């Protein structure tokens, strides 16, 4: 028996103002997208902005439904929109942020497992790492250089193949 350890590297910024200009701009677009979320049931507004390699920015926000499971998270709304409109263009950066009408979010959003899996599919499909910027309303910002970093031991297509 061996006990193993996994290390994940990420960058932490104390505030949004410390980010490089291009990343601040993308985060602003994610914030603008969160303002347009449809979240009457949770009052939790999430916005995602994806920068594609061709310079186009695709945004998305959470879309809730009275039949709760029928709603969709911001990240998947955005990533599927990118996949539908620009299937051949890799994504370089994804910025995600959130805010609540009921409390202050002072820490970075932590994307749900299903969205991590959906974002990782895009990364594998184009064989190109996607940088991910995670922010709350205020507070620290976390940046990972790849979706794989936030989804260790992910389910991969090789596991579908017979060996
Ligand atoms: N939500 C997202 O949009 N992204 C996440 O990563 C976590 C949760 C949404 C789903 C739902 O509309 C609301 O936030 C509360 O869970």
> 21-110+122-142 in CATH: which number?
3.40.140.10
Share of the chain above pLDDT 70, in %: 99
Spatial distance between the Cα atoms of 52 and 94, rounded to a whole number of angstroms: 9
Q: Which of 143, 109, 142 is nearest to 129 (CA)?
A: 143
> Per-residue pLDDT tens for 67-87?
999 999 999 999 999 999 999
pLDDT over 90 (residue 48): yes
Domain coordinates of the chain in residue numbers?
A: 21-110+122-142
Which residues approach ligand 1 with their CB closer than 6 A?
A: 39, 42, 44, 46, 62, 64, 71, 73-75, 111-112, 115
* Closest residue by CA, ligand 1 atom 6: 111
- Phi then psi dihedrals of residue 21, to 5 deg: -45, -45
Predicted local distance difference test score (pLDDT) of residue 163: 66
Angle between helices 113-126 and 74-85 (to 10 degrees): 20
**From 37, 42, 94, mutation site for ligand 1 pocket: most ligand atoms within 8 A of C-beta:** 42
């Amino acid at each position: 028996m061996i006990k193993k350890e996994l290390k994940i590297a990420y960058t932490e910024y104390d505030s949004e103002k410390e980010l490089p200009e291009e990343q601040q701009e993308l985060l602003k677009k994610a914030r603008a997208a969160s303002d347009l979320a449809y979240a009457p049931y949770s009052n939790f507004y999430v916005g995602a902005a994806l920068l594609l390699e061709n310079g186009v920015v695709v945004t998305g926000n959470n879309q809730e439904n009275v039949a709760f499971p029928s709603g969709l998270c911001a990240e998947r709304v955005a990533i599927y929109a990118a996949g539908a409109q620009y299937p051949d263009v890799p994504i370089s950066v994804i910025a995600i942020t959130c805010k609540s009408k009921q409390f202050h979010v002072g820490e970075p959003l932590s994307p749900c497992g299903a969205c991590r899996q959906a974002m990782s599919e895009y990364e594998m499909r184009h064989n190109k790492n996607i940088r991910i910027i995670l922010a709350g309303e205020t507070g620290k910002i976390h940046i990972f250089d790849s979706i794989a970093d936030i989804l260790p031991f992910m389910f991969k297509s090789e596991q579908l193949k017979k060996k």
